[in-house]
Every structure is written in C-alpha cells, then in structure tokens.
Amino acid sequence: MAKPSTNLLWCVIQLGKDRNWWVGKISDDVNWDTDALPVVDPKQLAYILDLLDPLREYGLSTDIVESAFIPFQAQALNPDSTARIVRVNESFFESDEVLFALPDVVDEEKGPYAEFIDHITKLRVKFLNDNIEFEHKLTTDELEDQVRETQNHALADNGPLHAFQEITDILEFVPEGYELSVDEDVTAGLGTEEEEEDIDVGEGFDLDTDEKIEEDDTMRWDEEPEENEPKQARDLGMDPLDDEEEEEDERPSLHH
C-alpha cells in the first residue's frame, strides 16, 4: 500500500511530560492534523516488534504493519526537548537503521493504522484462546470492551492516548484472573537503562553528507555546529536545531 502524501518529508517532534514524542510541526499540514499526533520512538518500536513476533504463527501480516506506520530517522535535536525527523524509505522488519514510526492516521476510521489495530486485536484473541483455558472462548468484542474501558480511564486522567500505549494495551492484554501458559519475555518491560542506551536515536545519520532533505523557507539549518553545542545533542550524535526557527508548541499536559 502506498504511503500517503509526497509532501510528508519531515516532522518536528516534542517530548511530552509523559516522556512520549508528539508532533509539533509537519511538512504536510494540509493532510495532517498535528493535534495530539503521536510518534513511536525507536525503543518503543523495537518493543512493539518483539510483542508482534509471537503473532506470526497466528497470521500476522507484515504488510499491514508496514502500511500502518511511516518510517522516519532523527536528523537534529534541540536542547528544549524537540527534534527534527525526516522521512526515509526503510522497512521496520528488515532495516538495521534506528527508526521512528508515525502512525498513518490521516483516515482515523478506515485507514492503515485503524486496520493494524483491528488486525492485532483479532490475533491477540487467537493467541490468548490458544494459550489460556477459558471457560468460554474470549471474543474480539470482549477484548475491545475491556481495553477501551481501561483507555477511557487513562484519557480522563492523562489526556490524549499515545499510540504506544494503545498498541501495548492490546498486545499485552490478559483477562483479569488469568495467566498465560507461555513465557512472554518481552512483556517484562522496555529493558534496563543500560539496555536502552544501546539504541541511539541519532545513530546512522551523517549530517555532513549531501543526503539531507531539500530545504525550504520552513527549514533553516545551522551550517556549522556551535562550539558550545548542548551536551544532549552531542550525546545523541545529532546537530542542534536553530532556536530561531522553532515556535513554542503547546502540548497537552500528560502525566502517568
């Protein structure tokens, strides 16, 4: 399935109070609404792919997964917890690059991301029925109702639901009072701090090459890094953004 809009080239993303990334600016603001538009970061993406792996034997479609998200790589980091990411042509399953994933929610009701959520919900039900001895088989409607109830409480308490939470709520779902009869090592969490450091959001991006995206009036880059470059940007191997080009973006106040 073709990815939407050739005008979608880059995003400026903001790290929210919930420690998730949200879109602040986007190159294609005609087709995309940036209000509470989430971005899955590389650590979260790796975790989701691990959770999806057991579903392969239940009919997981990698095409549906690939179509549900648009791949991006980090290009620049600002010390105010914003970053610029650029669209790339990479496979989430086959690429060795460190990728961000923007859910394709242009059509929230029937689009690729909505199809992905429906797909993994049905497969999770199959997986649970195969690995838990229920008195009555779990149905897709039952899973959806229970997950929706949990998410509604989260929405009331914390504001917009991030895609990572929406996806893991499904892929980690186990009905109350039951336990899985199989080991799910990936559900232990996103790993220790030491393990998380292995994923560098700036890895694989050489900003000194000529392979940058074409600049326009909305994209002004520092020609040379300043001597006193912020430590956070240096640690991630990324150039800081020019503060003059950024407008303050109000993100929803989110708390766990």
Which uninterrupted H or E stretch holds 195?
helix 193-196
pLDDT band at 208 (very low <50, low <70, confident <90, very high): very low
CB-based burial label for 77 (10 Å; 0-12, 13-18, 19+): buried
Instruction: Count Cβ atoms below 10 Å from residue 120 Cβ, excluding itself.
Output: 24
Whole-angstrom Cα distance, residue 132 to residue 83?
Answer: 43
Q: Decide if pLDDT at 234 tops 50.
A: no
Average of per-residue pLDDT across 171-190: 71
What pairing do the DSSP bridges indicate for beta strands 10-15 and 21-26? antiparallel
Q: What local confidence, expressed as pLDDT, does residue 172 receive? A: 96
- Residue-range domain boundaries for the chain: 10-244
Give me the residues paired with residue 26 across strands.
11
Whole-angstrom Cα Rg for the chain: 19
pLDDT band at 157 (very low <50, low <70, confident <90, very high): confident
The pTM of this model reads 0.74
Min mean pLDDT across 12-26, 61-75, 180-194, 199-213 is at 199-213
What pairing do the DSSP bridges indicate for beta strands 69-78 and 82-87? antiparallel
